[in-house]
Structure 1
């Protein structure tokens, strides 16, 4: 199941179909940008096996530079993505697809600290079941109390994520 109506927050059980859908979308993106130096990553909770998630695929695309951003915006339109711009989330251009929303693309320049943090957090959750379970418990609590406020839901997860990343850096 994919699709989250605008403004709503709810979680569903992890679905193995999400990996398949991501791989399909990744192939479409690579085909669309076959002459560009890009990387495509599955991020967010749908990328972590057995973690409850909002039913939206989060995809990160790394590009060399934002200097030719209109090319990326125009090409992603061919896959039905709508550009929301670069003032919603830090250090990236943001795109959505579907009604209700099924996919989100976060377009980063290579070397983005925000993307590095997202990939590290994803990888920690993939390998540390204790942290994954703690995060899921927090998400369930926040989803239940913020069913119509996705921004508050997201903001209230920030401290947990920051602390996990800090612990990871200190343990190195």
Structure 2
């Protein structure tokens, strides 16, 4: 299952379909903007096997130069993405796809600290079952109390994420 209606927060059980969907989308993105791309990464909870997640595929697109992002807007719009600008999240071009949202692209310049942190956190959860379970319990709790506030849901995960990153 993919798709999260605007303004809602809920989690679903991880599925093998998510990495497959990421790979399909990665190929589509690469074919449209490959000349600007350094790497395309599956990030977020759908990238961690067995972790409950909001049903949205988060994709980090690493580009050579941040200003190249403006050249990627029209090609990604041809794939169904909507460009949301650079003011939504720090140091990134942000795109989302469909309503309900099925995919999000976070486009960073190569080496961006937010990208590096996302990859470190993802990799830590992939290799540490205890941390993954603890994070899932937190996400379940927060999704129940923030069903209609995605920003509060995300903000309240920050302390856990920061504590993990501090160890790495």
TM-superposed CA distance for 1:31, in Å, is: 1.0
Unmatched tracts of structure 2, length 5 or more = none
Measure the CA separation in 2 of the matches of 1:99 and 1:115: 25
Summarize the alignment of residues 42-53 of structure 1 with structure 2, pairs less than 5 Å apart.
42-53=42-53
Structure 1 position 137 matched with structure 2 position 137? yes
8 A Cα contact 2:42 2:58, kept in partner: yes
What SS does structure 2 have at the residue aligned with 1:154? helix
Residues 135 and 151 (structure 1 numbering): CA distance in 2 closer, same or farther, change over 3 Å?
Answer: same
Is 1:126 the counterpart of 2:126? The answer is yes
| Alignment RMSD (CA, Å) | 0.9
Higher mean C-alpha displacement, 61-70 vs 1-10: 61-70
Deviation at 1:43, TM superposition (A): 0.1
32-41 vs 125-134, greater mean Cα deviation: 32-41
How many angstroms apart in 1 are the aligned matches of 2:39 and 2:84?
21
Residue 57 of structure 2 corresponds to which residue in structure 1?
57
Q: Report the 3-state secondary structure (helix = DSSP H, G, I; strand = E; otherwise coil) of the residue aligned with 1:33.
A: helix
Q: Deviations over 1:31-74 (max 9, x none)?
A: 11233343100000000000000000000000011223321111
1:25 and 2:45 matched = no
The DSSP-based 3-state class of the residue aligned with 2:19 is helix
Residue correspondences, number:
168
Q: Which moved more, 1:66-75 or 1:103-112?
A: 66-75
Unaligned runs of at least 5 residues, structure 1 = none
Inter-partner Cα distance in structure 1 for 2:129 and 2:160: 15
